[in-house]
Structure 1
């Protein structure tokens, strides 16, 4: 399962990767802001409250008096009226060993402490933010304990209200920033979208190269790709001309040989005509392949396998009519593959010809989807098949398992090499219907 997740992540598009990274980063930042900002505000408000309580403490200490009997009193009331309002939430308390003095806001209650947390509780048992200190007067023997506290709940309510508003602001900010990021990503990747569109036009034959109007970061790739396409087309064209020149250069010597053979005796003619004919056939064959390879629109090739197999099977049905073989074509008529017509005919023709030669009665042709936009064209027969230990050997050039059957031993090797040139491959194995199963893997066509 982890490997599958890594595989899916690797297949993500650049846009998806950038959007995913932006979502992860933005979500982390918003959550961090939503958590830390209220904490910082709460901490700031607590510090500010403690500072205010310190002022009250100083004011209380300045007005505190103790007589010779140990009785404590205040020379003047504190400035904040909440100290005189019952249950206001702002309290003070002064204690000595002999006396106790409390703010009027405590009314008939005392500041108590929780058993577990040891936190002070107010007149209504509310939690308090507090400061306390001990004073010593020169004419009084013993400490004077002062405690000032204020209800913590209003601060918590304020922070909670702030959090609600903050999350709304952060949510709007999240959506807005993500929208801007997506627009930025779309705009930044637009040159790649343009390149993909132009490549599609090249596949369909509408263009021969990519335009040069690209950003500085992408322009070298476009230039190199255009140079590669031009170089590849030039090599194909040159190979075609060389093959044509070779064919024409050999045409005159072959004509001379044919004329000399025609004047020779019958035994000599029977001995020399087959190899000369075979030489001519090989020249025509490779010249034809070189001409096919010279196509300018190398990205626009497309073939319909169902149609080509029907056409080829009609010809083989006549050639091998004496064998009474039935071919079942199960290929979808809407399926197209990225192979040039004549190349596909060459590959599937070799596979079908082998099947017609060795099948007892049935040939089945069907397809199966493969990974990476591939398609498997499968040819099966009910003949004797090939031993497992020789399946790889028969693909090698010139290998023939039965010398009594006409052929050059090049068919399967040619199919394998041509499939490789189209980024595919040929595999052989035992068929479920008894004979040979040949699987030709090619790319599915992406042109419209």
Structure 2
């Protein structure tokens, strides 16, 4: 999946949203749950305060408490629920009373002492364990004086911590499961939503490789107009290309007829005949060049093997004295992304020239290396000298190696190759000793 693809962007955004939203929801739920538990705990300890104050009394400036409280946890040692009454003068004053459950508990010295009629709810560590404390300051009034004190209700938070930890663990497990579920669903939904684009890509690839001419599938409303316009463009381009070639063919016939009549005249001077031949060559060369599909052939494609078989079969009939050997590592599915006529023109010209120059053997090698299509034509003739390699690619120039032809074939091949952004190189054949012509088309052309 490429980083700049729509699929990657949608999947990444979906994962980002899910990965951010659900953890935020988890944190919010966990905080809300703990807040509710703390409020419930505060209300519980507040109720204990009033239950103890209801049985407390002051006589002769002395606090009087019953031996047993109604809440049995205050009567059992280390029950986790404790009560303590101290003066509200601060830490220097003694403890006035403590519940039986605090007999083995170390009394902390950090209690808070709120104002009379007010309370404080906070947390203390007692015996290295967290405890919740609810401190409430009151004052009993008798006939002659006031008796202020602070009641502290203490509760072990181990149960509270266990509950919150269990809730947090279960919450995050469920959120993790939901994240995985939502991601799978989101990715599946996105892939299903983007499936028409994948199908369209396959159809465009089929058009590009020449296996189809138009887009045939039905697409969603958002893509329907695009595919219709693309089909219209393809049909228009195909029709225009065909009309253009027909017009050029008609033009060629229209020009060659009068030229043939003129050339048949007996009273022409040698210079006139030479000019007529040059004119005929120029017309043929320019017509071939104009008919090339070139870079406009993105939606064209031709299988390489059938073209090679057709050319070699024809040339073996024309040049019976020449043994044409082929060496190819391509498969039936390998194609040349271009016009069939152009590919046959390029390869056919090179093979035809090689057969003319060869003593008795021509070798055609076709291979795909480094994402490039390489077509090499070699012969066992006398080869081409270095000073002629550039000249024979010029229109109208013919090497002495070829006894036939009018010298525009290689120029046509050069123009066609350049129109497909390929390369034509000439060298000496290491295998056969003659000339070697190599066509190279990079990955965008096969």
* Same fold at TM > 0.5: yes
Deviations 1:118-168 (A, max 9, x none): 96345x653102222444455247x52332221111122112222333344
Structure 2 SS opposite 1:127:
strand
> 1:337 maps to what in 2?
336
Q: How does 1:111-190 map to 2 (within 5 A)?
A: 111-112=107-108, 120-122=124-126, 125-137=128-140, 139-140=145-146, 144-190=149-195
Question: In structure 2, which of residues 235, 245, 251 is the aligned counterpart of residue 240 of structure 1?
Answer: 245
Name the SS of the counterpart of 1:148 in structure 2.
Answer: strand
Matched residues in 2 for 1:127 and 1:276: separation?
Answer: 111
Q: Any unmatched runs of 5+ in structure 2?
A: 88-92, 111-121, 431-435
SS at match of 2:31: helix
- Paired residue secondary structure (1:108): coil
Alpha-carbon distance between aligned partners in 1 of 2:123 and 2:128, rounded to the nearest angstrom: 11
- Post-superposition CA distance 1:70-126 (Å, at most 9, x none): x32337965543222322211121113244311222233233369xxx96345x653
Q: Which residue of 2 aligns with 1:375?
A: 372
1:217 aligns with 2:222: yes
Alpha-carbon separation, structure 2, partners of 1:64 and 1:400: 126
- Secondary structure at the aligned position of 1:88 is classed as coil
Within 2, Cα distance between the matches of 1:166 and 1:52?
A: 25
Q: Give the root-mean-square deviation of aligned CA atoms.
A: 5.1
Alignment partners' CA distance in 2, 1:251 and 1:430: 35
SS in 1 for 2:84: strand
1:355-374 equivalences under 5 Å are: none
Rounded to whole Å, the distance in 2 between the matches of 1:426 and 1:298 is 18
SS state at 2:335 partner: coil
Larger gyration radius, structure 1 or structure 2? 2
**Corresponding position of 1:441:** 442
Is the contact made by 1:415 and 1:426 (CA closer than 8 Å) also made in structure 2?
no
Q: Which residue of 2 aligns with 1:23?
A: 15
TM-score by length of 2: 0.69
Q: Quote how far apart the aligned CAs of 1:242 are.
A: 1.8
How much does 1:200 deviate? 5.2
Give the whole-Å Cα distance in 2 for the aligned partners of 1:255 and 1:24. Answer: 76
Report the Cα distance in structure 2 between the residues aligned to 1:67 and 1:427, rounded to whole angstroms.
119
Q: Is residue 2:44 matched to residue 1:49?
A: no
Partner of 1:100: 96
Distance, in Å, in 2 between the alignment partners of 1:363 and 1:22 is: 58
Counterpart for residue 4 of structure 1: none
Q: Given the two structures, how large is their TM-score scaled by the length of structure 1? A: 0.69
Counterpart of 2:3 (choices 4, 9, 13) is: 9
Q: CA deviation at 1:180?
A: 3.1
User: What SS does the aligned partner of 1:443 have?
Assistant: helix
Aligned length: 410
Residue 57 of structure 2 corresponds to residue 65 of structure 1: yes
After superposition, what is the alpha-carbon deviation per residue over 1:344-369, rounded to whole angstroms, capped at 9, x for unaligned? Answer: 244456788999999xxx99967555
Aligned to 1:74: 65
Partner of 2:267: 264
